[in-house]
Amino acid sequence: MTINTQNSIQEKIAEEFLATHSSAELQVKVTSAPPTKIEGYTLNATRKGDVVHATIGIALDHSLRYALNRLISWAATSEVELYVDEGPDFAVRGVVEGFYGKPWSHVQRMRGISYFGDYNMNTYFLAPKDIPWQRFNWRSPFDADFLSSTSELIEQGKKNAIDVVVCASPGLSVKYSDENDVDAVVNRYKQLFDLGARHFGLLWDDIAWELSHEEDIAMYVSTAAAHSDFTNRVWKKLLALDSHVALTVCPMHYSGRGNEPYLQELGASLHARINLMWTGRSIISEYLDIADAVIFERTTLRQPLYWDNFPVNDGGLQKNLYIGPVRGREVGLHKYSAGLVSNPMLQFEMSQLPLFTIGEYLWNSATYNPDDSWEKALIHRVDDKSDRMALRTFLRTTMGTAVGGDPAPDLRQVFRKGVTHWRAGKLAEAGETFIAAGQSIIDNHGFLLSPQFSEPLIIEEIEKWLEKYLIGGEVLIELGKILQGCCFNNFKGCISGTSEDIEALGALRERLEAHRKNLFGDQIEGPINELMAELQS
C-alpha cells in the first residue's frame, strides 16, 4: 500500500496504519475536501486487476484513519467501484477505563488505542478507580514513570486518531474552598498539557454526598455549589493554557431521571463549555433513549456525554462475561448527546468484542445491527477461522448481557429439541440430544485449551469460565443418561423415574451452581429443575 499524504500528522497516521494492517495492493492519494459530516471523509476507489486506486478527501487530519478503515474493508470484497461521503454520528466516541479492580496494563492500553482506532472511535478516558494516583494521592505531581508511559499513550493516540484524556478524582479528600487544591489539579493538567493532552477529566463520582470541611460548609450552600465553583476555577486556569481545551466532568449524581436538584443546580452554575457525564436511568442502563436525554439537557443546560457502563463487570459483576453486542441504545441518540464512552470489562481481550459493536453503533446508529456487528467483531479479533469458530461456540454460551440478549442461543435450540423429544415420550432420542451436545462442548473445550489454539491471551482471560464450560458439558451427558434410564408414563403423559434419578439430578444442579462463574444462563439448570419436578409428580 502506498499513501500520499499532505502533512506530517497524516503521515504518522498512515505509517501506523500500514504497520498494523495487512494490505492489498493499494495506491492512495489524500486531498483536502469538505465532507458532509464533521470528522467525515470522501472516498473514491476503483479496482483495476489486483490494484486499487483511491482518493481520500478530508477536512480534519485524523479523519484519514476512518477512511483507511473503510478502504481496507472494501478492498477485501470483490466490488469494482466505491464512492462514499460519510462521517460519524456521535461527536465523542470511545472508551473510559473507569472500573474498580485490576486496571489494564500499559501494553494493553497501547494495543487498545490501536483497536479503538479500528473501531472509528476518537477518545480514551484513563480513569481506573483503584490506582492511587487517580483518587488518593491526587495532590502530588505525576512522577517521571507515569509521565513517560502517558506520553507514549498520547503519542499512540495521535497516530490512531484517539484523544487520550487523563482524569483526576479529588472528591474523597478535597477542600473545595482551598485554592491550593484547585492548583493541585491544574498542575497535573499542566503536566499532561505539556505532553500534548488537550482534553481533561474531573470526576466527582462515588464520593460522600455531604461537605466535610468546616471551611466548605461555611462557604457553600450545597455540594452542587461546591462542585460547580471548584470546577469553574479549574476551567478558568485551563483556558489560560489554551482556549481550545476541553473539560469533562462526572457529577456526583450521575444516574437517574436526569432532573435531580443536584444536577439542576450544578448545570445552572457550570460553564457552558464543560461536558457533563451521565450513565442514564441506572448505573448500568438497559436502554439509553432520546426522551431521557432531552430531560437531562433541559435540567443541566447541556447534552449528556454518556458514561455507558456496558460491558463493565467490576465489583459483584465479576462472575459474568459481557461479551455480547451493545443493545438498547436508541437510533438517533447522537442528536441529543455530546457523545458516548463505554466502560469496559477487566478482561481486556474479551472487552474488544462488545467495544467493536459500540464503535459501529456510534458511527451510524441507523444502520447498526447488533448480531451482524458481533460476528464482524469476532472476525476482527481472531484471524484463524478454525480458532474463531471454536471460540464463537464457547462465547455463545454467555451472550446474555446487562443490556439484553439471549445468554445461550445455541444451547436453547438443543434444549428445545431435547425437551420436545421427552414430551413426546422419546426418551432415547432426548437423551442422545443432550449427550451429543455435552460431548461437543467437551471436545470444543479440549480444542480451546490445546497448544494449536492461536489466541493464548484470550484463553488466559476466560480460564475460569472454561472450567464451568467443561462442567456444563459433563452435566449434559449425565442428564442425557438419566433421561434414557427413565420411563414415559403413557397414562399420565409424563416421565417417571426413581428417587435415585431425582437425587442424581439434584447433584448435577448443585455441581453447576457450585462454580462461581456464570455461564449458560438458565439453559441447563432450568430444564433440570423441570425434569426433577416432573419426576416428583
Question: Where residue 19 sits, what CATH number does that domain have?
Answer: 3.30.160.230
Residue 387, in any domain of the structure: no
348 shares its domain with 482: no
436-440 LR contacts (CB < 8 Å, sep 24+):
436/480, 437/411, 437/473, 437/476, 438/472, 438/473, 438/474, 438/475, 438/476, 438/477, 438/478, 438/479, 438/480, 439/473, 439/477, 440/393, 440/473
Using CA atoms, how far apart are residues 175 and 50, in angstroms rounded to an integer? 65
Q: What is the mean pLDDT of residues 241-258?
A: 97
In angstroms, the CA 251 to CA 436 distance is 53
pLDDT tens digits for 390-415?
Answer: 999 999 998 866 666 788 999 999 99
Pinpoint the alpha helices (H) of 137-277.
144-159, 179-195, 214-219, 223-241, 261-269
Q: Does 168 lie in the same domain as 62? A: no
Last residue of a domain, one of 363, 381, 399: 381
Q: What number is the average pLDDT over the span 60-75?
A: 96
Residue 395 lies in a domain: no
Q: Is residue 322 within 8 Å of residue 311, measured between CB atoms?
A: yes
CB-neighbour burial class of residue 66 (10 A; exposed 0-12, middle 13-18, buried 19+): buried
pLDDT of 406 reads: 84
pLDDT number for residue 336:
98
Residue 201 and residue 140 share a domain: yes
Final residue before a domain boundary, out of 44, 66, 86: 86
pTM here is: 0.96
Give the DSSP H or E segment for 460: helix 456-485
Is residue 403 in a domain?
no
Distance CA 137, CA 171 (A): 11
Answer yes or no: do 100 and 210 share one domain.
Answer: yes
218: pLDDT strictly greater than 90: yes
- Predicted confidence at residue 488, as pLDDT, reads 84
Q: Are residues 326 and 227 in the same domain?
A: yes
Q: What's the number of domains the chain is made of?
A: 3
Same domain for 475 and 373: no
What is the mean pLDDT of the segment spanning 310-337? 95
Q: What is the pLDDT of residue 132?
A: 87
Residue 174 vs residues 127, 171, 494: alpha-carbon distances, Å: 17, 5, 67
Q: Is residue 54 part of a domain?
A: yes
46, part of any domain: yes
Specify the range with the lowest mean pLDDT, choosing from 72-76, 113-117, 280-284, 398-402: 398-402
Report the Cα 258 to chain-centroid distance in Å. 23
Integer Cα distance of 338 and 16 in angstroms: 29
Looking at the fold, whether 334 and 360 belong to one and the same domain comes out as yes
Count helices and strands (H / E) in the chain: 18, 15
**Phi, psi (deg, nearest 5) at residue 53:** -105, 130
463 and 514 fall within a common domain: yes
Q: Cβ contacts of residue 329 below 8 Å, gap of 6+?
A: 287, 288, 308, 340, 361, 365, 403
Domain boundary (381, 398, 433) is at: 381
Q: Which three cell numbers stand for residue 292?
A: 431521557
CATH (domain of 278): 3.20.20.80
Q: What domain range includes position 451?
A: 409-536
Report yes or no on 386 lying in a domain.
no
Identify whether 303 is part of a domain.
yes
Looking at the domain assignment, is residue 327 inside a domain?
yes
pLDDT of residue 145: 96
| Residue 31 sits in the same domain as residue 73 | yes
Q: Are 64 and 172 contained in the same domain?
A: no
Is 210 in contact with 257 (CB distance < 8 Å)?
no
Q: Are residues 324 and 416 in the same domain?
A: no
Q: Per-residue confidence at 331, pLDDT binned at 50, 70, 90?
A: very high
Q: Does residue 59 share a domain with residue 151? A: no
Mean pLDDT of the residues in the chain: 95
